A and B are shown apart, each in its own frame.
Chain A
Amino acid sequence: MSRPGRESYWRRNLQMTAVLLTIWFIVTFVVSFYARELADIVILGFPLGFYMGAQGAPIVYVLIIWWYARYMNKLDSEYGVRETDAEP
């Protein structure tokens, strides 16, 4: 990869990482912070605050990781760095 290529690859990686970490932060800390206020909204029989802690947040986490793996693996192909399965 050329030097500008490397830089734009790294920049796009950082941008995606930042976006996903922001989602992670909101789902984890912001939502939990307001859990008392969210208790009045009921979803599937759960108060929303409880639901987010028990199921919502973990499901968002697994989706974040899935999306990141997909995005980065595509980015690798786009920049022609698709490695073989052998030892690098």
Chain B
Amino acid sequence: MAEYTTPLRRYYAFYTAGFFVFILVLAILERYGMPPRWVGYSFLFLTIFLYATIGVLARTASVSEYYVAGRRVPAVFNGMATGADWMSSASFMGLAGTLYLSGYQGLAYVMGWTGGYVLVALLLAPYLRRFGQFTIPDFLAARYGGSPARLVGVFATVLASFIYVVAQIYGVGLITSRFVGLQFEIGVFVGLAGILVCSFLGGMRAVTWTQVAQYAILIVAYLVPVTILSYQVTGIPLPQLTYGQVLQKVQVLEEKIFADPAEIDARQHFRQRADAYYQRILTLPESLADERRSLAEQIDALKSSNAQMREVAALERQRRELPATSEDARKYWEDLLRESGQRASAPEHHVTPYPGSGETANDTARVNFLSLVFCLMVGTAALPHVLMRYYTTPSVREARTSVFWSLFFILVLYLTAPAYAVFAKYEVYTTLVGSSIAQLPVWVSAWGKIGLVSIEDVNGDGLLQLAELALNPDVILLATPEIAGLPYVISGLVAAGALAAALSTADGLLLTIASALSHDVYYKVFRPQASTQWRLVVSKSLLLVVAVLAATVASQKPATILFMVAWAFSLAGAALFPALILGVFWKRANRVGAISGMLVGLLVTIYYMVRVQFDNIPWLGIQGIGMEPWLGIQSTAAGVWGVAAGFLTIIAVSLIGSPPSRETQEFVESVRHPEGDA
């Protein structure tokens, strides 16, 4: 092992040093007048070129190399690759913003996305490595006797991974369009090229080594801006340790700002606005006609009084945006009502757990927090693209150690994310709130132009109140370099990091989907006699098809993208977790039990999600299916019910049926003991 690891360490040390030199050169070039757009292009194309080089160098024609990187990946490097595989654009861009907006509540993601690795380490990774095949459905088939279990496993794998990969490709489109100025749809397909060059030629082998490279870039990009900001604010460049002090300052500022009369006044304006929307909804359809008439009158009045063209244009846009039918108007005003209502309500303190007034509100918040943590953990331990990575280590020992390294590398980012949120909040409270709207920092208007920051002086005092500021969660991470007053090269670096995070996860997911379809469905079920070469051809073609399909869906900009990520976790957890765990730890679990348990878990989760989230699905012609959530649990944590139903079904059905065969019991024995039948 040592003779394989040492040169690897040297390569990646050179590589990381080279990357720092590259940043330095760009910083110098920027000093001498290189335009920001070119800095953005340099980062985009150099990093994609780099991944492509690794992808081409690691090309392979061997099945074992293609699916499991030849099982030669040392624990530390597998840990890094898992880290990059794991941390998606949601972790990289979304997490800091979620923590900024929801304070303590956002910690559900920090705990859920790290605590799941305890389940992976203790209950799954060593046993899957001992089993030593290629995919997760492989395990289900071996344990639960044949094709039906395999196919249900494939279905769950493909469903969860596909939802997740669409979210990643969407993220790639956002990054390229924001930083390089490409059109969103073109950005999606540039990103797609970046994904394909890695996985197409070399499969798991190429993906593994690009993911290691991507980890280095994404972690540097994540740490640099906030470390500098921490140094500027506290004098110590360790944001993870210093944000406690800053948090205390934030708490003092919160007390002052929340009680400020101008602040309360601004919220009052939003309250009145919300009430007005509520009135309009009640008096539909007359209110729609009234609204149209009143806008027309205002426009006429303005035009005849020679007012500013801009004001007229604004009103005309309002009139254009007014929905045509009474049904659409209801939805339109309900959204506006919700938004104004949120901005009218008193803000929550950053550190308060389970906020809300009254015991019931607190309890609902707590149940939602705990169940979301549960779903994210179980989903982590069941998402096939993560579990598959533990097939690639050389031994069971290395698999165990590798989970430790995975979580270690992941923690570097996750322990920093809350610091981002707190530093950003401190900056907003000290430099933005209460200052004159005419003289806000440049970054506010820069991000305002693309709609990530919006400011509205509702009470007309010319000063910015907290309630008048609306931030998109992604902006916290993206704007930190500018908040800290750093040159554009650091913003470019952050974009490269975000791109690395999205690409690496997308790579892992696409490969998982392609393997499930080619290895499990095509080779194992339909054509067991297929030749090695032909299997790889099929796998690569499927990879291409799935990638294009995912990019096409992503370029439609599905509206519920953030929900989709949480759904993927619930779906994977409910369908796969119970069957995998009981497969190792309960010999009595049998085939019928496992298959029905997977199906019941999946169906319960989908049923709950759909009925809680949607009231009607227009393209299926379904209406009025909405229901009250059970115990107030939101659709993002639907997996709580699915996982429970899955476990109960497997246990009950298995106990009714007969115990599994002798061979199956021996198979379980062999997975439990490292030396097995050798």
Residues of A participating in the B interface, judged by any CB pair closer than 8 Å: 1, 6, 9-10, 13, 17, 20-21, 24, 28-29, 32-33, 35-36, 39, 44-47, 49-51, 53-55, 57-59, 61-62, 64-66, 68-69, 72-73, 76, 81-88
Q: A6-B673, A32-B373, A35-B104 are in contact. Are A49 and B353 (CB under 8 A)?
A: yes
Residues of B376-429 contacting chain A, CB below 8 A: 377, 394-398, 400-401, 403-404, 407-408, 411, 414-415, 418
Please tell me which one of the listed residues A6, A33, A47 contacts residue B351 in the complex, with CB atoms under 8 A apart.
Answer: A47
In angstroms, Cα B671 to Cα A6, docked, is 12
In angstroms, Cα B129 to Cα A88, docked, is 10
Q: A36-B362, A65-B118 are in contact. Are A29 and B407 (CB under 8 A)?
A: no
Residue of B nearest to A73 (CB): B397
Please tell me which one of the listed residues A13, A39, A62 contacts residue B404 in the complex, with CB atoms under 8 A apart.
Answer: A62
Q: A24-B118, A49-B104, A87-B71 are in contact. Are A32 and B404 (CB under 8 A)?
A: no
B111 and A39 within 8 A (CB): no
Note all chain A residues with C-beta closer than 8 A to B397: 69, 73, 76, 82-83
In the assembled complex, 10 residue pairs joining A and B whose CB atoms fall closer than 8 Å, in A order, are: A21-B118, A24-B118, A35-B353, A36-B354, A47-B351, A53-B104, A62-B411, A69-B397, A69-B403, A73-B401
Query: Is B669 among interface residues, defined by CB-CB distance under 8 A?
Result: yes
| Shortest 9 CB-CB contacts between residues of A and residues of B | A45-B244, A53-B107, A35-B353, A69-B400, A81-B675, A65-B121, A58-B114, A44-B244, A85-B394
A61 and B114 within 8 A (CB): yes
A1 and B675 within 8 A (CB): yes
B115 and A68 within 8 A (CB): no
Query: Is B189 among interface residues, defined by CB-CB distance under 8 A?
Result: no
Q: How many residues of B contact A (CB 8 A)?
A: 56
A65 and B117 within 8 A (CB): yes
What 10 additional pairs, Cβ within 8 angstroms, besides A1-B675, A28-B377, A49-B104?
A20-B118, A21-B118, A29-B370, A35-B354, A39-B351, A39-B353, A61-B118, A68-B400, A73-B400, A84-B395
A58 and B132 within 8 A (CB): no
A46 and B353 within 8 A (CB): no
Main secondary structure of the interface of A (DSSP, over half): helix
Note all chain A residues with C-beta closer than 8 A to B351: 39, 46-47, 49-50
Note all chain A residues with C-beta closer than 8 A to B248: 45
Residues of B289-343 contacting chain A, CB below 8 A: none
> In whole Å, how far is A72's beta carbon from the nearest beta carbon of chain B?
6
B123 and A83 within 8 A (CB): no
The digit string for B103-136, where 1 denotes a CB below 8 A from any CB of A, is 0100110110011011001110010001010000
A83 and B674 within 8 A (CB): yes
In angstroms, Cα B668 to Cα A6, docked, is 13
A62 and B673 within 8 A (CB): no
Residue of B nearest to A27 (CB): B115
Residue of B nearest to A86 (CB): B394
Residue of B nearest to A32 (CB): B370
In angstroms, Cα B240 to Cα A36, docked, is 23
Residue of B nearest to A46 (CB): B244
Q: A62-B407, A87-B132 are in contact. Are A68 and B121 (CB under 8 A)?
A: yes
Note all chain A residues with C-beta closer than 8 A to B1: 85
Residues of B1-22 contacting chain A, CB below 8 A: 1
> In whole Å, how far is B420's beta carbon from the nearest beta carbon of chain A?
12
Query: Is B77 among interface residues, defined by CB-CB distance under 8 A?
Result: no
Note all chain A residues with C-beta closer than 8 A to B369: 32
In angstroms, Cα B118 to Cα A24, docked, is 8
In angstroms, Cα B374 to Cα A15, docked, is 23
Please tell me which one of the listed residues B104, B118, B395 contacts residue A88 in the complex, with CB atoms under 8 A apart.
Answer: B395
Residue of B nearest to A77 (CB): B397
Please tell me which one of the listed residues B108, B353, B398 contacts residue A36 in the complex, with CB atoms under 8 A apart.
Answer: B353
B407 and A69 within 8 A (CB): no
B407 and A24 within 8 A (CB): no
Note all chain B residues with C-beta closer than 8 A to A21: 118, 122
Q: A45-B247, A53-B107, A83-B675 are in contact. Are A58 and B353 (CB under 8 A)?
A: no
Query: Is B245 among interface residues, defined by CB-CB distance under 8 A?
Result: yes
Please tell me which one of the listed residues A13, A58, A69, A85 contacts residue B411 in the complex, with CB atoms under 8 A apart.
Answer: A58
Q: A55-B240, A85-B394 are in contact. Are A32 and B111 (CB under 8 A)?
A: yes
> In whole Å, how far is A61's beta carbon from the nearest beta carbon of chain B?
5
Note all chain A residues with C-beta closer than 8 A to B414: 58
Note all chain B residues with C-beta closer than 8 A to A65: 117-118, 121-122, 403-404, 407
Note all chain A residues with C-beta closer than 8 A to B107: 50, 53-54
